[in-house]
Amino acid sequence: MGYFKALIIAAISLVAVTASAQNSGGNAAARTLKNPVPSTEASVTAGAAAYKKYCAFCHGADAKGNGPLAPKDSNPPSLTDATWTNGSTDGEIFTAIVNGTAPKSVMVGFKGKMPDQDIWHIVNFLRSLGPKTAGR
Ligand code: HEC
């Protein structure tokens, strides 16, 4: 019984450690992911359209955060600054969009909701707005 209890506690703390590792600045596997879509004008334009449809109501039309229909107190961050709490490379931004940042936040992933290519277009669009950061 005591052994079983210790096992459960060990399992729970492992989950906690894993979660906090992800919280502190990015995702090692995602960092190695290369953006397969060149950042052309056409890609940025396609990304802007997809952003407007799927993201603007939470992140704002100008991507500066706190869009008009964001759930109360969810505070979607600006996607135009150099702060990327989930990692700043194209691969990490892509992964945050695909997998979402739940349960930490209200943002659910967009996996299966649009083609990967469209998500890369969004990454290129967001990159076109903000300052250059690591990994680009
Ligand atoms: C329901 C509201 C909502 C929608 C819709 C939404 N987001 Fe988010 N998003 C959030 C919140 C809240 C966070 C903050 C969570 C965090 O920083 O971990 C977030 C975080 C992010 C991050 C991580 C930012 C960072 O600093 O690491 C990215 C990138 C992102 N969103 C992009 C998008 C894109 C692109 C779309 C559309 C395809 C989208 N989001 C749709 C609410 C939303």
- Judge whether residue 90 has pLDDT over 90: yes
pLDDT digits (tens, 9 = 90+) for 67-85: 999 999 999 999 999 999 9
Entry field: residues in the chain? 136
- Judge whether residue 122 has pLDDT over 60: yes
Q: Which is it for the CA torsion 59, 88, 95, 46, positive or negative?
A: positive
Atom 30 of ligand 1, residue of closest alpha carbon: 97
Atom 11 of ligand 1, residue of closest alpha carbon: 76
State how far the Cα of 100 lies from the Cα of 116, in Å rounded to an integer: 14
Instruction: Please answer whether residues 112 and 106 qualify as being in contact, where contact means their C-beta atoms are separated by less than 8 angstroms.
Output: no
pLDDT digits (tens, 9 = 90+) for 17-48: 444 344 446 788 899 999 999 999 999 999 99
Span from the CA of 116 to the centroid of ligand 1 (angstroms): 16
The mean pLDDT of 57-63, rounded to a whole number, is 97
114 lines ligand 1 (CB under 6 A): no
Supply angle C-alpha 117, 66, 24, rounded to 5. 70
Distance of CA 75 to the CA centre of its chain: 14
Ligand 1 pocket mutation pick from 23, 33, 51, 59 by most atoms within 8 angstroms of CB: 59
State how far the Cα of 38 lies from the Cα of 64, in Å rounded to an integer: 24
